[in-house]
Structure formats: structure tokens, C-alpha cells
């Protein structure tokens, strides 16, 4: 278990999405983390599963140029 404040965890979450880089966020995930979303058919369980999903999602967004500067 990481010893991190909610504020610092929220910063890492925002940083991961702003930079489309899940590595720092993945390091903070608990081994028994669960992830649910209306876009995910079944709840994901476990650090490896959730980190992999976030990584694929962020890379797909990056590849689509959705966040490309105007």
C-alpha cells in the first residue's frame, strides 16, 4: 500500500491523463484495485488488468490525435 494523500493521488491521476502516460498512476494502484465504466463490459479486477486497460486507452487517445493542439 502506498502512503499517499488523496490530493497527491488526484494530482497523479490528472497528470497521467494530461500527459497520456499511465505509468505514475499505475504505480499507485493497489493489487486488488477494481475498475468499472459504462465503456467496459465487465468490471476489471487487479492492478495488472486495470493498468493494462488504462495504458491501452491512453495510447489509443494519443494515436487518434484527439488531444492534438490546434
18-66 pLDDT tens trace: 999 999 999 999 999 999 999 888 999 999 999 999 999 999 998 887 6
Residue of higher predicted confidence among 40 and 69: 40
Indicate yes or no: pTM above 0.95.
Answer: no
Question: Could you tell me which of 69, 27, 70, 67 has the C-alpha nearest to residue 51?
Answer: 27
pLDDT of residue 6: 93
d(CA 11, CA 5): 10
pLDDT of residue 68: 64
Structure confidence at residue 15 as a pLDDT band (50, 70, 90): very high
Amino acid at each position: 500500500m502506498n502512503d499517499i494523500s488523496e490530493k497527491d493521488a488526484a494530482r497523479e491521476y490528472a497528470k497521467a491523463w494530461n500527459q497520456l502516460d499511465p505509468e505514475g498512476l499505475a504505480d499507485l494502484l493497489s493489487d486488488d484495485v477494481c475498475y468499472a465504466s459504462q465503456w467496459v463490459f465487465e468490471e476489471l479486477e487487479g492492478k495488472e488488468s486495470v493498468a493494462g486497460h488504462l495504458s491501452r486507452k491512453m495510447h489509443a487517445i494519443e494515436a487518434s490525435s484527439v488531444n492534438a493542439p490546434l
